[in-house]
Structure 1
Amino acid sequence: MRPGTLPDEPPSAADPDLARYLLRLGDDALVLGQRLCQWITRAPTTDEDLALSGIALDLIGHARVLLTRAGRLDGTGRTEDDLAFGRTEREFANALLTELPNGDFAVTVARQLAYTHYAVLHYEALAHCADPELAAFGARAAKEVAFHRLHADRWTVTLGRGTAESARRMRLALERVWPYTGELFEEDDVLRRLAASGTVPSPAPLRAPWLGRVTEVVTEAGLAVPTPTWSATGGRSGLHTEEFGPLLAELQSVRRQFPGGTW
């Protein structure tokens, strides 16, 4: 067993709130990982093909841990495969940011910039939670996503300080992505109960440090953090964009074609 992974164990006592929290984090990682997989053989360079593939692999690894634990806690006994491949669109609880289409490379960079800075802060906070297994996972995941963050930071600055065209595309990409960032920090009754009990951290207090960190990067890139006039929401409660259906069909295509198949 790798450090920070959750060991095989008998089904845990049901904890619907914690299961819901883990499902959200797991869905974020799974859906974003699937989006990044769409760059394979299509990235601007071979190096970026490998880099994005590696990031996607890390995210899918995070999703496996989180969905496995969610299935143990939600009272259904579902496996990671059941949760990944056996749910409908309305049953997924990922933030809308993670399902946004890749767009051009600048849009992917902007989406990664927003997500990775949030994820590092969230996993660092999770590393101090009372649950030793989740704390170990949070510590490992924070270190892995920190490398993803460096990749996004570097490309944000490179594009922002590159040619007039690359700077224009990076600016438009930030404007495209930014209305979807607020949902990452939303707090509902589930999160309030978990945070009040000290079980896991709420993402709400992370918004200020997140904004400070991404502002530093965007400023270094010679750009400005957008001020959106609207904010997208609904992903946590199963309301998704119209682009999510085709992405989920792609993710679940083999399971749908060969239900119950084993390899």
Structure 2
Amino acid sequence: MRDEDLYADHAEGDSARWAFGTGFTDPLHGVGRTVPDGVDAEELAACCVALGDDALVSAQRLAEWCTRAPELEEELALANIGLDLLGQARLLYARAGRADGTGRGEDAYAYFRDPVDFRNVRLAELPGGDFAFTVVRLLVLSVWRLAVCEALTAAADPVLAAIAAKSVKELAYHRRWAAEWTLRLGDGTAESGLRTAAAWDTVAPWLDELLTDGVARCFGADPAAVAARTRDELSAVLAEARLDGSGVPAPAVPGSGRGGDHTPHLAPLLSELQSVARAHPDASW
């Protein structure tokens, strides 16, 4: 990451530089940068940081599959999904720095905050587990995040709306990839079915935090509507995969990552992520 201004106009053609995500043109080109009248800048920054933290932590977990996925094609898919999420995090952090008036760059949010300052949902930070767990967790997070981002495409803040519109295209692929693998594993061999059922049993207690999340409520993502869509889509996939989805949502694990209440797994994940930047805080990346 670099501290350069992500909102600067990028040249079109061969000299264009947008080296993350699935596109190589600036998705925010021509979008106004000031916080519009009537939009609470503090709420906007909080929303961007929370959704950015979800994406960053998820991307870091997916990066752990490099060289470990069952097939090369799936390793590349997981890596590309992680890069998409990293790109979303960068844009959201950049917008947060503008909205909160601090002017902080993306590195300040990613590398120089402690675990208690992160606002990601806790499901994203759980250890990777086996391939079935990674697939089921990605399915849940993708279905939920896609519902949130589709609602945010109509946000009053044009930058957040543009980020959401870019994210929707990526998340639709993430959801499809995860759903296809959930079906393949759940309705596959006896072993893969057992592992996928165990993965769902592990993920389900953390789902309530997503279904009750209101961090984007002020920008058009109604929690009840997001929750209903998330439940419906997950139930459909689980039924087709011959998994028991009757526990949607399962009894919740108390606490909320949005309030800085995290599992013990976040600190070591961030330590690995932040170690080089903190060892060389004045370096240019």
TM-score by length of 2: 0.84
Indicate which of 3, 12, 23 corresponds to 2:49: 23
1:203 counterpart = 2:223: yes
Amino acid of the residue matched to residue 121 of structure 2? A
1:120 counterpart = 2:143: no
In structure 2, the partner of 1:221 is 241
Indicate which of 194, 205, 209 corresponds to 1:168: 194
Select the structure that is richer in helix: 1
TM-score by length of 1: 0.91
Map 1:53-92 → 2, pairs under 5 A: 53-92=79-118
Residues 91 and 204 of structure 1, relative CA distance in 2, 3 Å threshold: farther
State how far apart, in whole Å, the 2-side matches of 1:10 and 1:134 are.
10
Indicate which of 64, 77, 80 corresponds to 1:38: 64
Secondary structure at 1:102's aligned position in 2? coil
Residues 74 and 239 of structure 1, relative CA distance in 2, 3 Å threshold: same
In structure 2, the partner of 1:256 is 278
- Which has the higher mean CA deviation after the structures are superposed, 128-137 or 154-163? 128-137
Write the deviation string for residues 143-164 of structure 1: whole angstroms up to 9, x where unpaired.
1110011110011000011111
State how far apart, in whole Å, the 2-side matches of 1:104 and 1:25 are.
25
Indicate which of 28, 42, 65 corresponds to 1:5: 28
Runs of 4+ in 1 over 6 A off after TM superposition: 6-11
In structure 1, the partner of 2:178 is 152
Secondary structure at 2:193's aligned position in 1? helix
Question: How far did 1:220 drift?
Answer: 0.6
Question: How far did 1:239 drift?
Answer: 1.1
State how far apart, in whole Å, the 2-side matches of 1:5 and 1:179 are.
37
Contact preservation (8 Å) 1:5, 1:136: yes
Write the deviation string for residues 29-73 of structure 1: whole angstroms up to 9, x where unpaired.
000001100101111111111010000000000000001001111
1:230 counterpart = 2:243: no
State how far apart, in whole Å, the 2-side matches of 1:127 and 1:35 are.
27
Contact preservation (8 Å) 2:152, 2:164: yes
Amino acid of the residue matched to residue 134 of structure 1? L
State how far apart, in whole Å, the 1-side matches of 2:105 and 2:257 are.
22
Question: How far did 1:129 drift?
Answer: 1.8
State how far apart, in whole Å, the 1-side matches of 2:94 and 2:30 are.
10
Contact preservation (8 Å) 1:178, 1:226: no
Amino acid of the residue matched to residue 131 of structure 2? F
Contact preservation (8 Å) 1:96, 1:233: no
Contact preservation (8 Å) 2:212, 2:227: no
Q: Which runs of 5 or more structure 1 residues have no equivalent in the other structure?
A: none
Write the deviation string for residues 119-148 of structure 1: whole angstroms up to 9, x where unpaired.
111111111222222222212211111001
Question: How far did 1:226 drift?
Answer: 5.2
In structure 2, the partner of 1:52 is 78
Q: How many residues align?
A: 257
- Percent of pairs identical after alignment? 44
Q: Which runs of 5 or more structure 2 residues have no equivalent in the other structure?
A: 1-9, 11-24
In structure 2, the partner of 1:141 is 167
Contact preservation (8 Å) 1:30, 1:59: yes
